Each structure stands twice: as C-alpha cells, then as structure tokens.
Amino acid sequence: MLSDEVQTLREIPIFSSVEPAKLKLLAFACDRMIYRKGQDLFHQGDQGDAAFVLLSGTADVIVSSASGDMTVAEVGRNAVVGEMSALCNIPRTATVRATSKLEALRISNDHFLALTGEFPTVASEIMRTLVTRLSKTTVELVNARQPPTPD
C-alpha cells in the first residue's frame, strides 16, 4: 500500500520534483481515507486542516451562494483539493463531495506546509495550479455576466 501511495504521489505534477524518500515519509504521515458516494470530504466555510490527494474515484467541487449550490468542477484520480486552506489558513472556499466511492490521502496542514517549505518547486506547482483555476474562473465569470446575444 505505501509503495502504491508513493507511486501515486510521484504521478502528480506538484509532487514530481520531490525525492522518493521524502514522498515515502509523506505517504507514511498521511491518513488513507475512504468516502462513499455522497459523502463530503470537507465543507465550504469550515477551517481547513488538511489537503487531499484523490487516489481513486471522483468528486464534485460545490460552491454555495444565495442562489443555491453550484458544481464548479469535477475532480478525479491524482487531483489535489483543499490546498488553499492548507497553505493560507483560510476557511474552505468550497465543499468537495464524492460522486463515487473515493479513496484519498489526507495530508495535514503541517506536513503540507513543511513540504512546500522544503521543496520550492512544490510551492511553484501549487501556485501554477491555483492561477490556472483562477484564470478559468475569471473567464467563466466574465462570460456569465455578458448579456445573452439575440438569436
């Protein structure tokens, strides 16, 4: 199991630069979690205490607003979720809900921050991922605010 978790971590771009011995320590320090379909990994507004690496299964990223819940992304194997709260000590910006049986590695904030401190390339990859998400969200927001074109 531990070797499978290390191999999975190596396949994720943000962890690709981390030496195998460090990934083994990280995998050992993580908690392997199993979620059933419909179960939440975490809730929007909660204080984040960990990031998650999805090992198998799928999940929706859901944002609550005055007009109701909206699924803003679907994530699957090798996705990392919850990293913004882990890095910035801010409340969760979304709820992540399993849409199938899901297995994940739960990486505590302390371990996640230690990893980013020791491996600047991990921090760079996380920033790249977050900027890509922000860019996509900005485009979607602009498109949503444009008036519909007449047919």
Confidence of residue 151 (pLDDT cuts 50, 70, 90): low
**C-alpha separations of 48 from 69, 130, 131 in Å:** 20, 16, 20
pLDDT at site 61: 95
Cβ burial of 51 (10 Å; 0-12, 13-18, 19+) is: buried
Per-residue pLDDT band for 3 (boundaries 50, 70, 90) equals: confident
Helix (H) or strand (E) holding 50: strand 50-56
5-16 residues labelled b (16+ CB within 10 A) or e (exposed): bbebbeebebbe
Domains of the chain: 2-145 (2.60.120.10)
pLDDT digits (tens, 9 = 90+) for 108-125: 999 888 888 887 777 788
Q: How confident is the model at residue 7 (pLDDT cuts 50, 70, 90)?
A: confident
Of 8, 3, 17, give the one whose Cα is nearest residue 115.
17
